[in-house]
């Protein structure tokens, strides 16, 4: 395990101490938890953006998509607990 030094203003250090006390942990534990949460958030966002980019490239490559009305009906049936066959992809913006 490595050590990293960060400089905190007196005000922030006091706020962290107060928040840690309310959370029932130490300032050190509170800071580690906050960093872990922030890193996890950044990783999830990057993963989301990567997946969106991959899906966009896939769409651009084949032009296949679902009609929103079909997807909305499918999701409504699933939400009601009904079995629902998946809608067929349709070509969008291209003549075939």
Q: Using pLDDT thresholds of 50, 70 and 90, give the confidence band for residue 93.
A: low
pLDDT score at 86: 78
pLDDT score at 94: 56
pLDDT score at 95: 53
For the chain, domain boundaries:
10-91
11-48 pLDDT per residue, tens: 999 999 999 999 999 999 999 999 999 999 999 999 99
Is the pTM higher than 0.75?
Answer: no
Bridge partner residues of 29 (DSSP): none
């Amino acid at each position: 395990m490595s050590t990293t030094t960060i400089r905190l203003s007196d005000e922030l250090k006091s706020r962290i101490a107060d928040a840690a006390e309310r959370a029932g942990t130490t300032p050190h534990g509170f800071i580690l938890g906050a960093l872990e949460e922030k890193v996890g958030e950044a990783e999830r966002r990057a993963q989301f953006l990567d997946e969106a980019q991959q899906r966009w490239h896939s769409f651009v490559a084949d032009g296949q998509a679902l009609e929103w009305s079909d997807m909305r009906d499918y999701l409504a049936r699933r939400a009601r607990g009904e079995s629902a066959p998946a809608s067929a992809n349709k070509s969008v913006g291209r003549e075939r």
